[in-house]
A and B are shown apart, each in its own frame.
Chain A
Amino acid sequence: MSVATQDTAVSTGRATRALIYLTLLLFALFYLLPLYVMGVNSLKPLAEITGGNMMALPSEWTLDPWRSAWSTAQIGVEPTGLKPYFLNSILMVVPAVAISTIVGALNGYVLTKWRFRGDTWVFGLMLFSCFIPFQIVLIPMAVVLGKLGLAGTVPGLILVHVVYGIGFTTLYFRNYYASFPTELVRAAMIDGAGFFRIFWRILLPVSGPIAVVSVIWQFTNIWNDFLFGVSFGGTSQPMTVALNNLVQSSTGVKEYNVHFAGAILAALPTLIVYIVAGRYFVRGLMAGSVKG
């Protein structure tokens, strides 16, 4: 039994501390392992993977797997590489993120500063939509996209991602604006400022942090989506679907080094966002689970 004399709440012995550091370090290695494996093996000739050790550094460094993954690898039946699919993903992600974030901001503003009877119900219904298993909407969505002539197109995917993204963006902005002093909004109303003017002049200028959270969350989710992409992508498949096709292709030699390079290419955009703005990414994750 130790009696706390120093300022830390919990005191630990030397041996315990060593053990804690060791455990933390081992887990860090565990989390880094797949990234290391992908990185190292994407820079080797194939023979070094099939004939050597996956953990070893390349003895002959090469960028060929990267070139192949980007521009010549066989995706499905076409030897196009991942490039066109990367572009599809970009064309899909940018509008989907922008629209869902703007809509979410306006919704959050209405739900906190222009409250009306039943607004909690409206919000609750929108919030639940974030958590449904999307299998439940796949069939109707396929029918509707077909009727609209949007099946297999990038605009179709944008529509899908906006529809199922506004629940989360609304949640973010609602919780953020809830803590913004309503008196300021009231004062502006008395001064004769209208709905959009108040939003534009008073709330928008302070929305920077939550807008970043929302953009990052939407970007990561939409970029990483596979289910909607594979169901409705058609000829405009996103990056994740193309990567899966590349890796699962059953014809020819399995080019592991190309697969790894492709996997990193698919991971790079979200990884960069995480490295640049990880703090906001974590905030988004947390807001989606422990609200408030």
Chain B
Amino acid sequence: MASTEADFRTTLQNWLPKLVLAPSFAVTLLFVYGFILFTVVLSFTGSKMLPRYDWVGFENYQKLFALPAWTTAITNIAIFATLYIVICTVIGLMLAIFLDQKIRGEGVLRPIYLYPMALSFIVTGTAWKWFLDPGIGLQRIMQGWGWESFTFTWIKDSQMALYTIVIAAVWQTSGFVMAMFLAGLRGIDNEILKAAQIDGASNWQLYRRIVIPLLRPAFLSAFVILSHLAIKSYDLVIALTGGGPGRATEMPATFMYSYTFTRNQMGIGASSAVIMLMTIAAIMVPYLYAELKEKKA
């Protein structure tokens, strides 16, 4: 009797860890991978307002890439993502290098650079929307200060509105990129730098030849995180321009939402979501795989 009870306890103890993990894993399989599969299936059906299961092959994908709105969306995301990633990286790296020069007041500056990251994109969008509005914002401020000919109408201009999203997005995340680079810089062994200086390297050479190459992992992380944020960007576009003027700032995320939920073209909406997922997976999967493998070794 006593021994069977002990057996039962050991068996339970052996199974307990898996039992504890099982619900999370099941939920992930269902709500993430099952749902992905569901959306992929829908993208091959003629679903309109509600899911339907009539197989239409690649028709939705063909329609999608023939739609001017989708062409605009992918052109916009390409321009936006490129500018956003490059500018954030440049500003982040510059601020990190500058802050690393034994700056007095670093403790005050760093939190100021980083706080936008704690805000919702809707808040950021609201602030920038009105600040960039020609009627009450920057243009009027400058004119009020005496620069009568100053004009800044980007947010109302379908050619330029996309760049206002870049401004707001850079404002929100460049401080975070700074923190990533700063952590990288602080991890570099000072002795290497001293040795290079003794060899007569100038500051410029020091950074270009030694420091920046050593920051490679930080560059990679920054790129992965920023591209991921860019492709997902939905809130900021909605709050700042609502996709307008006209369709000027349509992005894949806004396209997916409007085709699925307001235009009742669920099949096309699903196919656009699949394209978004494939783009992000192409960036994230190799990165996560490498990170996890490194951990094991």
Contact = CB atoms under 8 A, between A and B. Distances in A.
A31 B136 contact: no
A136 interface: yes
Contacts of B122: 224, 226, 240, 243-244, 263, 266
Nearest first, the 3 closest Cβ-Cβ pairs linking A and B are: A114-B17, A224-B120, A34-B127
A207 interface: no
A182 B156 CA distance: 60
B28 A166 contact: yes
B35 A137 contact: yes
Given A124-B292, A223-B120, 6 more contacts: A27-B113, A33-B131, A106-B21, A141-B31, A244-B238, A290-B183
Interface stretch (B58-66, B68-76, B94-102, B157-165): B94-102
A266 B121 CA distance: 11
Given A124-B288, A133-B273, A267 B136 contact: no
A256 to B, nearest CB: 6
Contacts of B221: 289-290
Interface residues of B, number: 112
B277 A133 contact: yes
B180 A290 contact: yes
Given A31-B116, A133-B273, A248 B242 contact: yes
A227 interface: yes
A53 B289 CA distance: 53
Contacts of A143: 38, 51
Interface string B110-141: 01111111111111101111110001110011
Interface residues of A, number: 102
A120 B293 CA distance: 9
A126 B23 CA distance: 12
B88 interface: no
A195 interface: yes
A125 interface: yes
Given A131-B280, A220-B118, A244-B238, A256 B232 contact: no
B98 A20 contact: yes
B70 to A, nearest CB: 13
B203 interface: yes
Nearest to A286: B183
A170 to B, nearest CB: 7
B130 to A, nearest CB: 6
Given A20-B98, A226-B235, A286-B180, A136 B35 contact: yes
Given A4-B198, A10-B193, A135 B276 contact: yes
B89 to A, nearest CB: 13
A138 B285 CA distance: 21
Interface string B192-218: 011001101011001000000000011
A285 B284 contact: no
13 contacts: A131-B280, A131-B288, A132-B277, A136-B274, A137-B32, A137-B39, A139-B39, A140-B34, A244-B239, A247-B126, A256-B130, A264-B123, A267-B123
A1 B200 contact: yes
Which of A243, A248, A289 has the most chain B CB atoms closer than 10 A to its own CB? A289
A183 to B, nearest CB: 18
B123 A243 contact: yes
B16 A195 contact: yes
Given A106-B20, A260-B126, A285 B179 contact: yes
Contact of B280 (A126, A133, A264): A133
A177 to B, nearest CB: 13
